[in-house]
Amino acid sequence: MSKRGWSAGLSLWIGMALFAAVALPVSVGAQPDGIVQEGLTPVIIDTDMALDDWIAILYLLQRPDLDIKALTVTGTGEAHCKPGMSNAQHLLALGGKPEVPVACGRETPLQGDHVFPLDWRNGMDSMLSLPLPANTTPLPEITANDLIASVLNESPEPVTIVTLGPLTTLGELLEAQPGLIDHINMIYIMGGAVNVPGNLLGFAGENTTAEWNIYIDPHAANLVLASGAPVTLVPLDVTNTVPITWDFYRQFQHDRQTPQADFVFRALSKNRWFLRQGGYYFWDPLTAVIAADASIAVIEPQTIRVIEDEGPESGRTRIDPAGSPMGIATQVDGERFGATLLNVLNGRAVDAPLPDVLISAEEMQRNKGIVLRWYTEVWGKAETLVADQLAARDYVIHSNADNLDLAQLLGSIEQIHTALSDIEISVDVVAAEGDRVATMIVLRGLHTGTSPEGVFAVEPTGNEITFRMNVVSYLVDGELVEEWVTFDMMGPLMMIGYLPAP
Ligand code: AGV
Ligand code: CA
């Protein structure tokens, strides 16, 4: 069967994907360092080193059936070359493959001047300050193009390429050396938005059609798609179905058996605010999971052309009968995807049952103690330094009145302590269940002061004021992350004379 027989129907596509997954030919592939890996699929990862790229890379490194031959950093992607390569080496060390060669590609698009927002790039350059193991492997003095070309030329069997960023490197390479496509088994591309809107979020004027990776270098994308190499596109159409949910995050919290899984959890923790509000997806991890075993997805044949002209459709991946033939991932079993990711990152078999996430009695007891201190010391005594110890930086409290972050909450507590004297607080931690703690609180004080703003910006009444509230606190790794509070507002308002007493 021709590798490039893309006119085949859907069932054939799925059949081919299954065939590729279960019947990989056994081979003997010599690595650049001379180690021989039998029966493994050779893979090149071309990444732009964003947060979800890290997850995808660790996943691919953990797959026992893959042999990662090289990792190339996209110079036009989210991380810059130098920090991107260094971070990639640390990540390879974490993944147990410190010797995988790393190189970077050109730093400007082949055409145009599209770039990622600089603050995204800076965040990825610093890798969110997460600790990673050292890697003393010297960087080969070689461009990404030369590294990819040498892996392709030396591999006795066709190589799978997984691209997780803009296509600048591969576009440049395949234009210069079109014969290399004979050494490529498949290029799995995270990119494009076929029948759904793009994801530029207003960063590129009126453009609501393009996905970031393709938008950065549309010409390079067209060169790859039109190269004749077999391509499977993993566009927003399918990645939109795998948001990184809060539920997934919480499951991950209790299922971290390996340093790799723990790192991924901590990286996600840095972006909890983002996970909470939605809008973060498993773009690259889904692409990695499909690249390792395409049977998880429905892949349909399609012909696509990338719009290269500047304007509101620049970088759009448009269906066009005259476009390049390729496979497009359109559907995935989201549950199986999540389980696969957790299992492989945790070093388990792909289809192992997920472990029950049980929280120990000790941890629940510890959580109760933290909540007790939070209310007696932070609320009861306005100890702001203790607040910094006990609460996560992205702490948020939701109430029947509003949502406050840590600084705002401390401001409110400060106001209470300015207005009330002789404060007493009774804290009754009534239950701990899993990672949540339920508490009933009564705070009393004499209304003898005035705060510059808020409800206490009134003449002191001298009355005794009583606040009652019920709180559910959610803790992650011994830190307060989120609280839900209902409090009695009417009582205090009557006591300071805002409302008439009944
Ligand atoms: O468009 C998805 C690609 C993926 O390769 N990237 C992120 C993934 O690594 C760009 C991107 C889209 N939306 C983003 C992105 C966001 N809100 N923050 C950072 N990167
Ligand atoms: Ca990426």
The pLDDT of 276-302, averaged and rounded, is 95
pTM for the model: 0.85
Percent of the chain with pLDDT over 90: 81
Picking from 470, 467, 273, the residue whose alpha carbon sits closest to that of residue 371 is: 470
Picking from 164, 180, 155, the residue whose alpha carbon sits closest to that of residue 42 is: 155
Can you give the pLDDT at residue 15?
Answer: 36
Picking from 138, 151, 145, the residue whose alpha carbon sits closest to that of residue 31 is: 151
Structural tokens at position 336: 């199986």
pLDDT tens-digit series, residues 215-244: 999 999 999 999 999 999 999 999 999 999
**Does the C-beta of 163 come closer than 6 Å to ligand 1?**
no
**Does the C-beta of 263 come closer than 6 Å to ligand 1?**
no
DSSP assignment of 423-451 equals EEEEEEEEEEETTEEEEEEEEEEEE----
Reported as a pLDDT band with limits 50, 70 and 90, residue 1 is very low
Q: Is the pLDDT of residue 22 over 70?
A: no
Domains in the chain, ordered, with CATH? 6-17+41-345 (3.90.245.10), 361-495 (3.10.450.50)
The pLDDT of 150-166, averaged and rounded, is 98
**Does the C-beta of 199 come closer than 6 Å to ligand 1?**
yes
Ligand 1: residue of 199, 208, 284 to mutate (most ligand atoms within 8 A of CB) is 199
**Structural contact between residues 240 and 196, judged by C-beta atoms closer than 8 angstroms:** yes
pLDDT tens-digit series, residues 351-368: 999 998 788 999 999 999
**127: CA distance to ligand 2 center in Å?**
13
């209790």: which residue's tokens?
254
Nearest CA to ligand 1 atom 13: 199
pLDDT tens-digit series, residues 43-91: 999 999 999 999 999 999 999 999 999 999 999 999 999 999 999 999 9
Picking from 355, 354, 342, 363, the residue whose alpha carbon sits closest to that of residue 435 is: 363
Can you give the pLDDT at residue 277?
Answer: 80
Ligand located closest to 244 CA: 1
Reported as a pLDDT band with limits 50, 70 and 90, residue 37 is low
Reported as a pLDDT band with limits 50, 70 and 90, residue 27 is very low
**Does the C-beta of 50 come closer than 6 Å to ligand 1?**
yes
Sort residue 477 into left (φ over 0), alpha (ψ -120 to 50) or beta. left
Q: Is the pLDDT of residue 28 over 50?
A: no
Reported as a pLDDT band with limits 50, 70 and 90, residue 34 is very low
Q: Is the pLDDT of residue 18 over 50?
A: no
Ligand 1: residue of 78, 125, 273, 287 to mutate (most ligand atoms within 8 A of CB) is 78
Ligand located closest to 239 CA: 1
DSSP assignment of 172-239 equals HHHHH-GGGGGGEEEEEEE---SSS----TTTTTT--S--HHHHH-HHHHHHHHTTSS-EEEE-HHHH
| Of 157 and 356, the one with more pLDDT | 157
Looking at the CA of residue 279, tell me the nearest atom of ligand 1.
Answer: 17
Q: Is the pLDDT of residue 10 over 60?
A: no
Distance CA 463, CA 422 (A): 12
